[in-house]
Amino acid sequence: MSESGSPFERYKAALRRGHVAAQRGRLDAAAAAYREATGIAPDRSLPLVGLGGVLARLGRSEDALTAYASALDRAPADESALRGRAAVFSTLGRRSDAADALDRLVAVLDGEGRIADACDAARMALEAAESRGRRRQLQASADRLTAVAPDDPIAAEARKRALAILGPVTVATDAGATGAGTTDGTPTPDAAGAAPDPLLLTMAVEEALEAGDLDEARRRALTAAIGHRAAGQFHAAMDACYQALAILPSDPDIHLLLAELYLDRGWRGPAADKLVLLGRLSQLTGDHATRGRLCYLAAARFPDDPRLAAVCA
pLDDT confidence bin for 198, thresholds 50/70/90: low
Q: Measured in Å, how far apart are the chain's first and last C-alpha atoms? A: 56
Q: Rounded to an integer, what distance in angstroms lies between the CA atom of residue 20 and that of residue 30?
A: 8
pLDDT digits (tens, 9 = 90+) for 13-34: 999 999 999 988 999 999 999 9
Neighbours of 153 (CB within 10 A): 19
Please count the CA atoms within 13 angstroms of the CA of 312 that sit on its side-chain side: 23
Domains in the chain: boundaries: 1-93, 194-237, 250-313
Please give the pLDDT value at position 37. 95
Pick the CATH number of 1-93 from 1.25.40.10, 3.30.465.10, 1.10.760.10, 3.30.70.1450: 1.25.40.10
pLDDT in tens, 210-248: 788 888 888 888 888 887 777 777 777 887 888 888 888
DSSP at 249:
T
